[in-house]
Amino acid sequence: MSTTKPIKAVLVGNPNTGKTSLFNQLTGLNQKVGNYPGITIDKKIGFFKTKSEQEVKLIDLPGTYSLYPRSKDEEVVINILSNPLNVDYPDVVLVISDAINIRRNLLVFSQIKDLGIPTILIINMIDAFDKERADIDLKKLEENIGVKVVGTDARKGIGIADLRELIEPTTDGYEFQKSDYVSNQLEDGERHQLYTKAIGIKNTYLAWHWYVQKHLRNQLSDDKKTKLEDVEKHYPTEINQTICEEIAARYKAIDTVIDNCTVSAKKTESERSVKLDKIVLHNVFGYVSIAVVLLLVFQAIFSWSVGPMDWVDLQLSTLGSWIGKSYPDNFVTSLLSQGIIPGIAGVVIFIPQIALLFFFIALLEESGYMARVVFLMDKLLRPFGLNGKSVVPLISGFACAIPAIMSTRSIGNWKERLTTILVIPLMTCSARIPVYTILIALIVPRGFLFGIFSYQALSLMLMYLIGTVTSLIAAFWVKKMLPSSHESYLLMELPDYRMPRWQNVGLTIWEKTKAFIMGAGKIILAISVLLWLLSAFGPTDEYYHAETIVTAKYEGQNITENELNKRINSYRLEKSFIGAIGKTIEPAIKPLGYDWKVGIALITSFAAREVFVGTMATIYSLDDDGDQVETIKQKMNNDIDPATGKSRFNVASSISLLLFYAFAMQCLSTLAIVQRETKSWKWPLIQLVSMTGFAYLISYIAYQLLK
Amino acid sequence: MITLNQAKKGITYLINSIGDSSIQSKLMEMGIIEGKEIEITNVAPFGDPIIVRISGYKLILRRKEAQTIKITSI
């Protein structure tokens, strides 16, 4: 092996074995996130050096219990390990097992070993408590299974140096021994002869995987595929049975090995977990604690993030206006100060929310609490085609759909994850609040129900309710529409409670934030700049002569310069391309009760819903800052429709607009993040068309009934 | 012989067989193997899903899956 090329290694193991901790211990901050071709799973790659300065490229493969995958994530493992031509095919596989559940962990280890790739087994103590429970003689284990075994405590970094030493490029002397199962049971029979010959692979267990796992076959030539299909015709139904026999045989062999290596039989139960579960899984307290935790998460992304968000906003808008004032007034300056910098602000503004949400999600996952949430919520969410793990993303959707959609990663079942992603934007996010507040203030009188509950607050609560109910109904509908490749089932480990590892929490936050900026951030920036361009240019000369025209109009009237500037801006917006588009779509939105002014606001607020308020302020020539709700409300109230002689914003059009904002996909950042998470434009487009179409329909009905 | 679905909470049973289903091999991979001991430790507030203890660790599964697991009392 050449010393210039890095050693290729992969890390495989069951979930909850401390795999991520070990990966972080080995590679530190020296990691990046890449893509596997054609699928939506992140590929975590890290680099480190062995004692002799040989570089190792380590890929952290998705956690799995076996080489027979049950999700797209798990398919990655066999895809890489089955194909020596794959760029990621490893020189060495590191299989990690936790010190307590060795038997179950050894299943996937024994399968990988039979593929004939050099393997190292890592027995990891996840927690100090494990020392009391672990009862295995590692030396004996090494003799029994025939590969190097290293004990680690990934949390404290113990054993990491030993592991580095073992990865030294001494794999040449590796002797492959297939397990008894393969030589005694699998290699027996005519079918086996036929498919091994058809594929032309020497390793018989590898050939078996090529035979039974159809998704691997795309890599084969047509000739071989046909031959395999011929073999299949002769042996149609036995595959599942053979797999079950394999697993039973492997467990039997593992039991013999472990019984040999066990020092003493100790109690394996974690008393701490049992005690905590008495409360956490309680019929009443279980739900109370979920409510408290969700409230905390909601509170964090809803209000704790406001401070940092305002700070970011202030810094970038100060920078923007500084550039605008300090440099000559030309296209480049405006592009920078009004297009690009606000665009960047539109991306950066999400970072506090994303970081906070993933801080909590990492805590919930790391501590083992998330599995309890799944247990308690499964029955309630099942009718809607959602997973117990959908709860946290859905509730996060109340704050902001962007981090919420990113957090669906933890849902293993693709259909349930996609359903969650598709319905999250219907939850009432915080960007809708400014829009709701103004419209509600416009139509709902001040006053109190029973002297306590403000009518306006009740209306706002009703909007939240509408959003939540609609997203559940939508989930039910999506469940019916999406084809199901396999039956829904729930089979997951309930891990013991663990102290979260702060390094893992920190790295999760870092990774998610980076992924957002690099992925959705680019699209958000591009569309923000496009929207600015549309407002910075106009189709006619009137746009460019706005100043002269408006000044002439108000000549002789007693008007301050400030007032005049606001009128010029308002006129300019009306005559810009965006204004032109607003007027063009007016016939389409008139049946909903909106005029071209609302049309403009609908287009600009596509960047973010709350922009609606700012745009209405500009259109009505108001200050674009400070407490504007009352003044905008008055202006909107005084906007008389000449045709009817009444206010344009009557109860009918306001309710229509409220409903439109409740349902319409008015958020390009959400579309960008859905594109990133599903790796396809198909789903964001479906969301855009169905949500906005539905919003149009409902608003139309509401306006026509109420007007 | 009864199914895991009919088992009483807190009592240890012996796994007799795992019935043919689309997730038969998945159940086995998670350690639900003929001859091992199994016990229901928790039942969710609305009766479903359940938590079982097997070989010292715990698994969450639904009633529907539990129905395919045949057990005998010890």
Q: Is pLDDT of A694 > 50?
A: yes
Q: State the Cα angle at A511 between A505 and A516, rounded to 5°.
A: 130
A400 and A253, same structural domain?
no
Q: What pLDDT, in 10s, does the model give residues A493-539?
A: 999 898 888 888 998 888 888 878 887 788 778 878 888 888 888 88
Q: From CA A389, how far away is CA A420, in angstroms rounded?
A: 9
How many other C-beta atoms lie within 10 A of the C-beta of residue A556? 7
Encoded tokens for A50:
């062995």
A287 near B CB under 8 A: yes
Residue A442 is predicted with a pLDDT of: 81
A688 and A627, same structural domain?
yes
A157 and A81, same structural domain?
yes
- Interface contact flag, A491 B47, Cβ < 8 Å: no
Q: From CA A117, how far away is CA A243, in angstroms rounded?
A: 21
- Interface contact flag, A65 B29, Cβ < 8 Å: yes
Residue A656 is predicted with a pLDDT of: 93
Among A616, A619, A533, A607, CA closest to A577: A533
Range of the domain at A685: 522-537+576-706
Q: Is pLDDT of A561 > 90?
A: no
Q: What pLDDT, in 10s, does the model give residues A116-129?
A: 899 999 998 766 55
Return all residues near A518 (Cβ < 8 A) that are at least 6 apart.
Answer: none
A612 and A488, same structural domain?
no
B45, B49, B55 ranked by CB distance to A103: nearest: B55
Query: What total number of domains does chain A contain?
Result: 4
- Interface contact flag, A247 B25, Cβ < 8 Å: yes
Q: Give the helix, strand, coil percentages of chain A, each rounded to 5.
A: 65, 10, 30
- Mutation pick from A68, A247, A376 vs chain B, by most beta carbons of B within 10 Å, is A247
A155 and A17, same structural domain?
yes
Task: With respect to residue A310, please indicate whether it lies within any of the assigned structural domains.
Answer: no
Residue A566 is predicted with a pLDDT of: 79
Report, as an integer, the average pLDDT of B20-37: 92
Predicted confidence band at A1 (pLDDT cuts at 50, 70, 90)? very low
A84, A115 Cβ separation under 8 angstroms: no
Task: With respect to residue A530, please indicate whether it lies within any of the assigned structural domains.
Answer: yes
Q: Is pLDDT of A626 > 60?
A: no
Return all residues near A187 (Cβ < 8 A) that are at least 6 apart.
Answer: A204
CA distances A72 to A39, A69, A75, A79, A485, Å, are 8, 8, 5, 10, 12
- Chain B nearest C-alpha distance from A264 (Å): 15
Q: From CA A272, how far away is CA B32, in angstroms rounded?
A: 25
- Interface contact flag, A375 B34, Cβ < 8 Å: no
Task: With respect to residue A72, please indicate whether it lies within any of the assigned structural domains.
Answer: yes
Hey, which residues 470-489 in chain A have their CB within 8 Å of chain B?
A: 486-487, 489
- Please tell me which residue, A54 or A2, carries the higher pLDDT value: A54
3-state secondary structure A404-463: HHHHHHHCCCHHHHHHHHHHHHHCCCCCHHHHHHHHHHHHCCCCEECCCEEHHHHHHHHH
- Chain B nearest C-alpha distance from A460 (Å): 32
Q: From CA A611, how far away is CA A605, in angstroms rounded?
A: 5
Torsions phi, psi of A47, nearest 5? -125, 145
Chain A: residue whose CA lies nearest to B25: A244
Q: From CA A70, how far away is CA A66, in angstroms rounded?
A: 9
Residue A664 is predicted with a pLDDT of: 94
Tell me the chain B residues in contact with residue A287 when contact means C-beta distances shorter than 8 Å. 45
| Of the listed ranges A257-266, A338-347, A467-476, B38-47, the one predicted with least confidence | A257-266
Strand pairing partners for A384?
Answer: none
Report, as an integer, the average pLDDT of A165-190: 75
Report, as an integer, the average pLDDT of B19-25: 88
Among A500, A251, A164, A254, CA closest to A363: A500
- Interface contact flag, A491 B23, Cβ < 8 Å: yes
CA distances B34 to A319, B10, B52, Å, are 69, 20, 15
A204 and A125, same structural domain?
no
A578, A545 Cβ separation under 8 angstroms: no
Q: From CA A76, how far away is CA A70, in angstroms rounded?
A: 11
A367 and A383, same structural domain?
yes
Give the dihedral sign, CA A504/A509/A512/A517: negative
- Mutation pick from B24, B57, B65, B68 vs chain A, by most beta carbons of A within 10 Å, is B57
Packing angle of the helix pair A306-326, A341-348 (nearest 10 deg): 170
A56 and A92, same structural domain?
yes
Q: What pLDDT, in 10s, does the model give residues A249-263?
A: 999 999 999 888 876
A492 near B CB under 8 A: yes
Q: From CA A10, how far away is CA A95, in angstroms rounded?
A: 8
A629 and A614, same structural domain?
yes
Task: With respect to residue A608, please indicate whether it lies within any of the assigned structural domains.
Answer: yes
Q: From CA A389, how far away is CA A374, in angstroms rounded?
A: 6
Q: What pLDDT, in 10s, does the model give residues A375-400?
A: 999 999 888 988 888 888 898 888 78
Q: From CA A208, how far away is CA A192, in angstroms rounded?
A: 8
Q: Tell me what the pLDDT averaged over chain A comes to.
A: 85
Return all residues near A165 (Cβ < 8 A) that are at least 6 apart.
Answer: A50, A51
Is the ipTM of this structure higher than 0.90? yes
A486 and A371, same structural domain?
yes
- SS3 category, A35: strand
* CATH placement of domain B2-73: 2.30.30.90
Q: Is pLDDT of A45 > 90?
A: yes
Q: What pLDDT, in 10s, does the model give residues A343-375?
A: 888 788 888 888 888 898 889 888 989 899 999
Among A106, A411, A34, CA closest to A254: A106
pTM for this entry:
0.83
Q: Is pLDDT of A170 > 60?
A: no
Strand pairing partners for B18?
Answer: B69
- Mutation pick from B29, B36, B46, B62 vs chain A, by most beta carbons of A within 10 Å, is B29
Encoded tokens for A92:
């060495």
A110 and A80, same structural domain?
yes
Q: Which of A136, A157, A177 is the last residue of a domain?
A: A177
How many other C-beta atoms lie within 10 A of the C-beta of residue A218? 8
- SS3 category, A567: helix
| Of the listed ranges A273-282, A553-562, A668-677, the one predicted with least confidence | A553-562
Q: Is pLDDT of A111 > 70?
A: yes
Residue A133 is predicted with a pLDDT of: 63
- Please tell me which residue, A166 or B71, carries the higher pLDDT value: B71
- Interface contact flag, A100 B48, Cβ < 8 Å: no
Chain A: residue whose CA lies nearest to B24: A244
- Interface contact flag, A492 B27, Cβ < 8 Å: no
Return all residues near A12 (Cβ < 8 A) that are at least 6 apart.
Answer: A61, A64, A77, A81, A93, A94, A95, A96, A108, A112
Q: Which of A177, A192, A210 is the last residue of a domain?
A: A177
Strand pairing partners for A148?
Answer: A120
Residue A486 is predicted with a pLDDT of: 61
Task: With respect to residue A452, please indicate whether it lies within any of the assigned structural domains.
Answer: no
Residue A39 is predicted with a pLDDT of: 67
A193 and A152, same structural domain?
no
- List alpha helices for A134-238, DSSP H: 138-145, 160-166, 180, 190-199, 204-212, 222-234
How many other C-beta atoms lie within 10 A of the C-beta of residue A706? 14
